[in-house]
């Protein structure tokens, strides 16, 4: 039986679990653990993966539905709560990588401190600085051991600097790309004869 290269990657990735903290604009592995307390609003639709008819629903439920419409085989564990230190430790303990996809700076600080001090060995991929538009060249990636920071590090959301789809999703995709780099470290490509 021949296995294509992309199939081999999918099969390899299906064993992993990724935790997504926050289900806004930032947030195909086998299992996902998602957590958020917010509901879908009209203002979210410019950059987040929800539909107009999902306005008013819990983000975690709407997102699980949307992910399973793309692929019913993906297991999504959804937690409707505002994450605190003990939740982070408990819910994401079984995850191979944690993705920080919060909005508020305070929450970003909380999860970074929690993972660095209380979850040794765990990778955390964060998104910091993505408001506004243009300035593509400023977006970059900073790595320090198991902490990875994607974004421009300076563009804070404000009245005159809203969060818009292109930069938010550039950072979100950069985070996803860092997750793949971490997960695929041990991937052995299928040999040419089996393809």
Partner 1 sequence: MKIQLNNREEEFGFTQLTITELLAEKNFTFRMLVVKVNGELVKRHEFDQKLVKDGDDVMILHLITGG
Binding residues for partner 1 (CB under 8 A): 22, 24-26, 101-106, 108-109, 112-113, 116-117, 127-131, 142, 144-145, 147, 149, 153-157, 163, 168
The nearer residue to partner 1, 30 or 153, going by C-beta atoms, is 153
**Hey, what are 30's tokens?**
């086998």
Q: Are 87 and 119 in contact (CB under 8 A)?
A: no
Smallest separation (angstroms) from partner 1 to the CB of 107: 9
The nearer residue to partner 1, 13 or 115, going by C-beta atoms, is 115
Q: How many helices (H) and strands (E) does the chain have?
A: 5, 7
Q: Are 99 and 18 in contact (CB under 8 A)?
A: yes
Smallest separation (angstroms) from partner 1 to the CB of 169: 11
Smallest separation (angstroms) from partner 1 to the CB of 91: 19
84-113 in b/e burial notation, b at 16+ Cβ within 10 A? Answer: eeeebeebbeebbbbbbbbeeeebbebbbe
The nearer residue to partner 1, 96 or 152, going by C-beta atoms, is 152
The nearer residue to partner 1, 91 or 131, going by C-beta atoms, is 131
């Amino acid at each position: 039986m021949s296995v294509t290269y992309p199939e081999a990657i999918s099969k390899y990735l299906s064993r992993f679990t990724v935790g997504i903290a926050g289900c806004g604009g930032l947030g195909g592995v086998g299992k996902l653990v998602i957590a958020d307390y917010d509901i879908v609003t009209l203002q979210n639709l410019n950059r987040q993966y929800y539909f107009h008819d999902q306005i008013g629903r819990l983000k975690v439920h709407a997102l699980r539905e949307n992910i399973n419409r793309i692929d019913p085989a993906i297991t999504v564990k959804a937690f409707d709560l505002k994450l605190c230190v003990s939740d982070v430790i408990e819910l994401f303990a079984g995850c191979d990588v944690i993705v920080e996809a919060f909005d508020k700076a305070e929450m970003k600080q909380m999860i970074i401190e929690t993972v660095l001090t209380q979850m040794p060995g765990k990778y955390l991929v964060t998104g910091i600085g993505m408001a506004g538009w243009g300035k593509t060249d400023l977006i970059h990636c900073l790595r320090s051991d198991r902490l990875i920071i994607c974004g421009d590090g300076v563009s804070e959301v404000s009245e005159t600097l809203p969060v818009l789809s292109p930069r938010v999703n550039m950072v979100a995709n950069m985070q996803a790309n860092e997750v793949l780099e971490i997960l695929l470290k041990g991937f052995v490509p299928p040999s040419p004869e089996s393809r």
